[in-house]
Structure 1
Amino acid sequence: MKRFQNYSHYKLPITMNPLEYGKLIIKIDELNLFIVQINKTNIALIQQYDELNHIKFFKEGDLIFEYKDHKSADNTFIRSLNNKKFTFRDNELTLVTTDLSVQLNKLIQQSKLIFDFKSILNLNSTTILKNKIELI
C-alpha cells in the first residue's frame, strides 16, 4: 500500500524509491533521472544521487515546487520542502521542524531600519537644539 504526505493540498509519495511514486514514463540512466506519473494531473521529475533525491513536482505541466529527500539512516529519510523538514521512519512521519532563520533575518532587518530611523530623529533634534530652532 502506497503512503502519501499531504502537503499544500497535494499528495506526495512517502518513499525514496522513484519507482514507488507511480507509473514510470521515462528513465535516463546516464543522469539517474526518472519521470514518473503520480496521478492524472501530477508528474514528478526525480534526479537520484547516492543518498539524495531532488524532486520537481509538476501539476498539469506547471512546476509547483521542488524538494529534496535525504537518506539519514536505515528506513529513515528527511524531506526538505520550503523552510520545513519532515522526518520519515518506516514510511511514517515522525518529526517536523521549521527553519525560522528566514523570519529572524527579516525581523533583524526591520529592527535595524527602526533603529536607523530613531538615530536620524535623535540626530535631527540634537542639531535643531544646538542651532536654537524652535519646533512647533
Structure 2
Amino acid sequence: MEFTLKEQQEPPAMFASAFLTTTTTTKPQDGNTPDTPNGKQVSDFITVQSLTNFSAMTGAIVAAWKALQLTEWGWTDERTVPLVACWLFGIVSVLISELGDWRKVLSAVFVALVNSLVLFGAVIGAVEAVGLKT
C-alpha cells in the first residue's frame, strides 16, 4: 500500500483571502476552527460568526439604546450612545483575540474600528428603517 501526500493548493490572492476563512469539512459555516491542514475556504460572510457579529449585535445595540432612552437621562437620546457601544464591542473583540505581535494587533484594531463604524451605520439604519426615534 502506497501513501502520497496531496499537493497543497496555492493560497488565494491577497484580496480574495481577506474575504475567506478556513473551516473544517464537517462544519463549513463555522469559522471558529483551529488550524486545519485540510480545511476548506469559505466566505467570512456565510459563517456563523459574521451573523452574530453584525446581525445580532445590531439588534442588541438597538435594544440597549432604546432601553436606555426609557430612562430620564437626557444623554441617552444622543447618537453617540450606540457609537460608543459599537466601539466597545470592537475593543472587546480585539482584547479577547489571540493576536500575537504588535503588527497583528495594529491591523486588528484598524479592522475593528472600521467594523465598529459599519455596525454603527447598521444600528442607525435599523432604527430609521422601522421609524424609531433617534
Compute the TM-score of the two structures, normalised by the length of structure 1: 0.29
Structure with bigger helix share is 2
Structure with bigger strand share is 1
Higher Rg: 1
Compute the TM-score of the two structures, normalised by the length of structure 2: 0.29
* Bigger RCO (CA 8 Å, 6+ sep): 2
